Amino acid sequence: MTEVIESRMAVIDAVLDRLLDGLLGLGRLLSPLCSLFVLLQLSALVVLLLLSLRVVCLLWSHAQFTRRLRCFSKPPTQNWLMGHLGEMRSTEEGLQAVDQLVRTYSHSCSWFLGPFYSLVRLFHPDYIKPLLLAPASITVKDELFYGFLRPWLGQSLLLSNGEDWSRRRRLLTPAFHFDILKNYVKIFNHSSDIMHSKWRRLVAEGESRQDMFNHISLMTLDSLLRCTFSYNSNCQESSSEYIAAIFELSTLVIERRGRILHHWDCLYWRSPEGQRFKQACSVVHGFTRTVVQERRAQLLHRGEPESHTDTTGGEEKKKKRVADFIDLLLLSKDEDGHGLTDEEIKAEADTFMFGGHDTTASGISWVLYNLSQHQDYQDRCRAEVNDLLQDRKTDDLDWEDLSSLPFTTMCIKESLRLHSPVSAVTRRYTKDMTVPGGRVIPQGSICLVSIYGTHHNPEIWPDPDVYNPMRFDPENSKDRSSHAFIPFSSGPRNCIGQKFAMAELRVVVALTLRRFRLTPGGVEVRRLPQLVLRAEGGLWLTLETLDAPQD
């Protein structure tokens, strides 16, 4: 029933879009001729009829979901029709409302965004586990939260479904193997060095109070451009059209999500915001497409880079350039010997840039914020890093060093719990899904898995608003649910880049604490959940330069 209603609504939307185009075209040619006036009247009647049909379909679908979701508690609504529309806010107060929701309903509740969208919000490990572990073959990324990214990211791993997703996952997985990630640690060191040099200069000039998000976002973009394209953008010191376009796209996606009329493509692409989105997409796609085409030509002429060179006679050819993300995608083959097309590689590279810089920047920024609030933990992390690096000629961390930072890693994980970069993930399923208590989520409903709500659920995390790294001491973690801590989601559709992200987090946090003491910036911090968790007006901390430890 749900699929039939949705397919009919899609047909109605397509017809409406074409009719609007036709009406606009006729409007330009409008003349006093009566025949044109009559034609316009008839067209208007058809549009009105189709709109009426769409409203009927919406109301019928809304009534069906309302009936089938009665097994879930339903928070108070404005009225039957509007439901909870406007109550899900991307503000500090919105997060506090989630806290209240979790305390009241414990594990889940239904949620209705007017007659347009029917959701089930889940915030308990026992309820989210069967959903996140469901086979990828029945799991679908819904269009409400992810569809706005499609013109930017294409049919990438993040947005694809079914067999297309499975094939892409198989082809991309080798790009995140440990042996590949080891090469990236050098880049993390280098990008951190550039940021820290800038910080030292600013502190020397008397500007010790800085917005962490501003600096760290540029640093993670810098490292990603090097890891993805082997491209030195110098973006930490100077602006570029490509970087500006990425920031523009992220902002526009957030704005569109909050405007219900802009959910309709035929209205959005005619708006000034839609035109700006197209222009920014053109810049980003043009850059990525050029790099992919040039790199494919280079591989044809020069052969495979170092990471794909076999060891012959005990010696590996060291003169070749180390493979980056684009190289690995160009060289990947499926079981039938088929690789990714240039357009597929472009989509994955754009997704890696989108998913890799903002989330990691958010994670790093909040770790530093939390440690600035707890000097005892900060000092203990710093001592751990200094002990590791003593007697070394440089501060550079190696891949093997990352496992020798247990307390720093505990502090990072507790920050990812308390301030999860991504507040929620959404899924839809092609069959009814059963959760504890015999409750059934009907096919087609949007399942909003609240990472924030799960991480702040007092049934799972006592004193959930307290920053306490000892929660992640192995002794304290052994009896905890596997889905109590899910900053990178879980199951077959978890974040493929989570080991990349954790490696960068460890390197940047460790080197920052070795070189700087961080204290609060003297302003109230109000959380701002957008595509990632930010802070209103920036996340300001005060930097104090530290001398290198003496042997």
Question: What is the CB-side half-sphere exposure of residue 375 using CA atoms within 13 A?
Answer: 5
3-class DSSP assignment, residue 540: strand
Are 512 and 504 in contact by the 8 Å Cβ rule? The answer is no
Q: Tell me the one-letter amino acid at 126.
A: D
Question: What is the CB-side half-sphere exposure of residue 26 using CA atoms within 13 A?
Answer: 18
Q: What contacts 248, CB < 8 A, 6 or more positions away?
A: 276, 280
Strand 433-435 to 533-535 pairing: unpaired
3-class DSSP assignment, residue 311: coil
Q: Tell me the one-letter amino acid at 476.
A: N
Are 529 and 95 in contact by the 8 Å Cβ rule? The answer is yes
Alpha carbon distance 39, 35 (integer Å): 6
Burial of 83 (0-12, 13-18, 19+ CB in 10 A): buried
Are 215 and 198 in contact by the 8 Å Cβ rule? The answer is yes
- DSSP one-letter code for 450: E
Are 189 and 511 in contact by the 8 Å Cβ rule? The answer is yes
**DSSP string covering 107-141, please?**
TEEEEEETTTEEEEEE-SHHHHHHHHTS-GGGEE-
Question: From the centroid of its chain, how far is CA 267?
Answer: 26
Burial of 205 (0-12, 13-18, 19+ CB in 10 A): exposed
> Tokens 């600035």 identify what position?
372
Residue 447 counted as an annotated binding residue: no
Q: Tell me the one-letter amino acid at 365.
A: S
End-to-end Cα separation, the chain, in angstroms: 73
Radius of gyration for the alpha carbons in the chain, expressed in angstroms and rounded: 26
Strand 117-122 to 108-113 pairing: antiparallel
Are 505 and 223 in contact by the 8 Å Cβ rule? The answer is no
Question: Binding site, residues?
Answer: 495
Question: Binding site for heme, residues?
Answer: 495
